Structure 1
């Protein structure tokens, strides 16, 4: 995830994706809160936009 901030193109792409999905996220936010997975869903969304998972990054070290 740190490499993402060093790469302006990837960072801009991620921010644009967040803007696009912000409306959808607001619509389903109530349901996610009901099931207690709002934080996990947001983290998953950011990881998927970054193009790699923390597990993949951790295992490569």
Structure 2
């Protein structure tokens, strides 16, 4: 039972790290027609990237 919980924890940790990297890369490479759309997209990707990074740190520190 402990092995299953440990495996789930490792998978969740890797998933949150992958999400953080994905959102950061998407935010850095986002293209938009107007400046306002670009700013909104980058803010959204930054929010989700930071949220995923925080979730990664929480899982990693458990």
TM normalised by structure 2 equals 0.34
Normalised by the size of structure 1, how large is the TM-score? 0.34
